[in-house]
Structure 1
């Protein structure tokens, strides 16, 4: 099948398929000698469905590569897979804690302006003009979960 058909079946873009090929997540397709088009088969479809499912779970490309490798070793122990998922759960829990802190900060910020004023008198803008207060609390550890690279300050 052509790349556009494959992309449509999986629900991703053609560019994403090409990107997965360049990242080594998807084996390159054979080229049709008649027109040089990429020709994908059912194994590409199955692999892309697997990759897409992993991406919906916010897994990194490295984690996906480990899981893809495990799929081709059906008699190996799944201990590595269990450890990978346990670590991923830890990262998700850390991200959730960061987001709860962020929510609290945003609620506090929103409370600085309870009614519509001119922007010159807006409590939110005034609050954002102040420097961040440093905290003695430990900062959240780095997480690989998308969007969690931002530093959340604790007050």
Structure 2
């Protein structure tokens, strides 16, 4: 299967497929005598795994590790569980940070008259930075 066929089948661009190969998430692909990449079913499965991991917000480095675990039939599920638990902690931290950003921005929006005046507490808040909790 060529890269265009894989792209259509999976729903990602050829550029992203080449990117995943260049960063080491997808193993080097065999090439035809004309130099075209020739993808096999194992590459499609790996790409689908990468896409699923990406939706869970794993980084490229984390995905490399997950791929190693996935492809290692002698792995311990305890290793996978510990890795996933650490990622949950990271995601929860990010959620808390995002909720804080929403609250700060909401305060600024609520304080904005939204009229023809040039006075803008939203821009003032952004200028002060998020370390200041009071408007």
Report if TM-score (shorter chain) is over 0.5. yes
Mapping of 1:61-76 within 5 angstroms?
A: 61-76=60-75
Cα contact 2:3–2:39 (8 A) shared by 1: yes
Comparing both chains, which one has the higher relative contact order based on Cα–Cα distances under 8 Å and sequence gaps of 6 or more?
A: 1
**Residue equivalent to 1:131:** 128
User: Does residue 118 of structure 1 match 2:116?
Assistant: yes
Contact 2:105 2:122 in 1 (8 A): no
Task: Kindly provide the CA deviation profile for residues 70-127 of structure 1, in whole angstroms up to 9, marking residues without a partner as x.
Answer: 122213212221111011101110011001111110111012223x4224244434x3
- 1:22 counterpart residue number: 22
- Alpha-carbon distance in 2 for matches of 1:24, 1:130: 40
- The answer to which structure has the higher helix fraction is 2
Gaps of at least 5 residues in structure 1 are: 133-151
C-alpha spacing 1:38/1:111, structure 2 compared with 1 (3 Å): same
Q: How many residues align?
A: 133
Corresponding residue for 1:136? none
Match of 1:13 in 2: 13
Q: C-alpha root-mean-square deviation of aligned residues, in Å? A: 1.8
Q: Aligned with 1:76: secondary structure?
A: coil
| Alignment deviations for residues 5-54 of structure 1 (CA, whole Å, 9 cap, x no partner) | 10111111101111111111101111111x21111110100100001000
Normalised TM-score (structure 1): 0.78
Question: Any runs of at least 4 consecutive aligned residues in structure 1 with deviations exceeding 4 A, and if so which?
Answer: none
